[in-house]
Amino acid sequence: MALATACDSSGRGVESSRADRINRRLAGSPFLAGPLRRLAYDSRELWAWDNYRPSVLGYAQACQQSGRMQNGLVRMLEIGGGRGPLLTPREAAAAGVAITVNDIDDRELAMAPAEFAKARFDIAGSIDSGLEGRFDLIVSRMVFEHVKGAPRAWANMRALLAPGGVALAFHPTLYAPPFIVNRLMPERLTASALRWFFPNRHDGDYPKFPARYEMCFANPAKIEPILSRCGFSETLVAPFWGHRYFRHIPGLREASAGFDNWAESRDLRAFCSYAYTIGRR
């Protein structure tokens, strides 16, 4: 009985410690942390994927509640949305969101739903001044690791946002082992490896683009000064540990999971795998 009580007490202590770490990770901006807290953010990689769409809808709702919309609609720009925008036209209409899909590639942009507005430009390049201040919410998913000139991309997003608007980038982070390999190895080799791990990653479904990993870190000390110089008034970096690249390799799978749990318990941001980087104009 005494042993069971001690184990139970230890388990509660671990969970309490984890809750404390999560609270510290979200402490930077109560406003930006709000939608994540309501979804019970827990720093696990699966949470990041399962809750990206609800998080975006949560930020859209936050924009609505703070009056950030036009004609009753939150104006959302999806960077790199191309062939696979986050929301369907029906979902966007139900959520009160007017979507503009962006991409750098004409072929990708042509695959976006006809109901959405489209804007072809490089987020790290020259931006049409007519678009400045036009959006309440800007989002991207697995795009910023491919961007060359990430600081300029964030500065452009700040310019595209209306006052009080929010930008959210969901991206992988260095120095998770799969992304170190992806960064260092030749593109022809990493493309083949990615198709082995994830068979749908090909030109007919979701192609692989060259990865650069500029600003793909989860350490606020690296990210917040850049976003501040870009003109964001509030920033938040929510880290996630774990990945599924080794899920079919016994031994390595368990070793990787154990390392990720250890790194999370010590808040070692250099070894997390993904992050939501969020800024408010």
Q: Give the chain's domains with CATH numbers.
A: 22-280 (3.40.50.150)
pLDDT band at 37 (very low <50, low <70, confident <90, very high): very high
Is the distance from CB of 245 to CB of 197 less than 8 angstroms? yes
Q: What is the DSSP letter of 235?
A: E
pLDDT band at 196 (very low <50, low <70, confident <90, very high): very low
Q: Give me the chain's average pLDDT, please.
A: 88
- Taken in order 134, 223, 186, 193, is the CA torsion positive or negative? negative
User: Phi/psi of residue 63, each to 5°?
Assistant: -65, -45
pLDDT of residue 4: 47
User: Phi/psi of residue 77, each to 5°?
Assistant: -110, 125
Rounded Cα–Cα distance for residues 203 and 194 (Å):
12
- pTM listed for this prediction: 0.86
Rounded Cα–Cα distance for residues 239 and 173 (Å):
9
- Taken in order 262, 268, 274, 276, is the CA torsion positive or negative? positive
pLDDT band at 249 (very low <50, low <70, confident <90, very high): confident
Give every strand in the sheet of 234-240, ordered side by side: 117-120, 97-103, 74-79, 135-141, 161-172, 274-280, 234-240
Is the distance from CB of 44 to CB of 240 less than 8 angstroms? yes
pLDDT of residue 6: 45
Name the more confident of 156 and 67.
Answer: 156
Cα distances (angstroms) measured from residue 126 to each of 12, 81, 153, 155:
52, 18, 10, 11
Rounded Cα–Cα distance for residues 156 and 259 (Å):
37
Rounded Cα–Cα distance for residues 120 and 128 (Å):
10
pLDDT of residue 211: 83
Is the distance from CB of 237 to CB of 276 less than 8 angstroms? yes
Of all residues in the chain, the percent with pLDDT exceeding 70 is: 86
pLDDT of residue 244: 86
Looking at residues 134-154, what average pLDDT do you find? 96
- Taken in order 233, 142, 51, 86, is the CA torsion positive or negative? positive
Q: Pick the range with the lowest mean pLDDT from 59-68, 69-78, 173-182.
A: 173-182
CA atoms within 13 A on the CB side of 127: 20
pLDDT of residue 199: 58
Is the distance from CB of 223 to CB of 237 less than 8 angstroms? yes
Scanning the structure block, which residue is given the tokens 């004609």?
A: 71
* Burial classification of residue 132, based on how many CB atoms lie within 10 Å of its CB (0-12 exposed, 13-18 middle, 19 or more buried): middle
- Map residue 159 onto helix, strand or coil: helix
